[in-house]
Amino acid sequence: METAFSLTQLWHHLGWPLVRMLMYISIGLLFANFIEALNWTRKIAFIARPLTKFAHLSPLTGASFSMAFFSGIAANTMLSEGFSKKEIPKKELILANLFNSLPTYFLHLPTTFCIIAPLIKSAAFTYMGLTFSAALLRTITISIISHFLLPKHGKTAMQQQTHLESDLQTAWQRTWKRFQRRIKKIIRFTVPIYILFYIFTRIGLFDNLTQLMADHLGFLSWLSPQAMSIVALHVAAEFTAGLAAAGAMLASGAMNNREIILALLVGNILSSPVRAIRHQFPYYAGIFKPGLATQLILFSQIFRLVSITTVTLFYLLLT
């Protein structure tokens, strides 16, 4: 009986999440390869064309930006495929991954807002506005940096293609052939890394790390004790735990909107790095390769930290 229960737990906490993640990666990989096989990459890049043109980014990056509004995995898969086929250099790959901050934000916006709004009510609009400003700031900053770091694009190989679009059957055959080749590599990296991170979670490594961060928040003495408790919950538990506490304190009148927003922003800043390592790295390592995945997450977290800190300071000074 105990063995059956343990196996059920293992399936629910490791087996099914791993299978589900591989399913999402597979769908993203198939979708990205199918679009490329049909030669539609330039067509779907139109959304980002003004920005990519200014930033000297390729049509592939523009297509990835457009795709990120619907699927982050598909967008990253497009970048990974382009990098592996030398369509974009490593410098552009890193910049493109950061450039996708804005569509990635919009992708999660409905879910996030539906969780936040019932709990902190009117403060949700200000909080979401500030986090949106941070995402917009990241994309604009990357556009400016790319403008100076990347050479202006001439006629790329993608732009020079004049042959007719592939028919659906031919495109699917090419897609399936590439998928079979690529998915084997992804599974080889993703499965052992995901299992390793599951073991880390079971032995409490991430809990200890987040608790360590929560225990050393003395530098935030400028926040009220109530705000500190929200930050600690945000870091040591989950985002919804901090939100629940914020909602309760707002309803009781113990904290006002400004204090709630500042506490959530600080909690956001402090909790993001550990969550990025815990949740992003396993699937990033499958799409890109562990070394490159580490670099992408590192750059992403640095820019995220700087942007949210900037809007937090701005809000603090204005209010």
* pLDDT number for residue 211: 65
Task: Tell me, yes or no, whether 289 lies in a domain.
Answer: yes
Structural domain boundaries, residue 191: 2-154+165-318
Matching residue, tokens 């909080």: 127
Task: Tell me, yes or no, whether 147 lies in a domain.
Answer: yes
Does position 161 have pLDDT exceeding 50, yes or no? Answer: no
Task: Tell me, yes or no, whether 160 lies in a domain.
Answer: no
Task: Tell me, yes or no, whether 292 lies in a domain.
Answer: yes
Per-residue confidence band for 88, with pLDDT thresholds at 50, 70 and 90: very high
The residue that leads in pLDDT, 305 or 237, is 305
The answer to whether residues 61 and 79 touch, using CB atoms and an 8 Å cutoff, is yes
Does position 271 have pLDDT exceeding 90, yes or no? Answer: no
For residues 97-115, average pLDDT: 86
- Reported pTM: 0.77
Contacts of 16 (CB under 8 A, 6+ apart): none
The residue that leads in pLDDT, 272 or 130, is 130
* pLDDT number for residue 139: 93
Task: Tell me, yes or no, whether 239 lies in a domain.
Answer: yes
61-75, 124-138, 209-223, 236-250, range with the lowest pLDDT: 209-223
Task: Tell me, yes or no, whether 120 lies in a domain.
Answer: yes
* pLDDT number for residue 41: 60
Distance CA 90, CA 87 (A): 10
Task: Tell me, yes or no, whether 159 lies in a domain.
Answer: no
For residues 263-274, average pLDDT: 84
Domains held by the chain: number: 1
Average pLDDT, the chain: 80
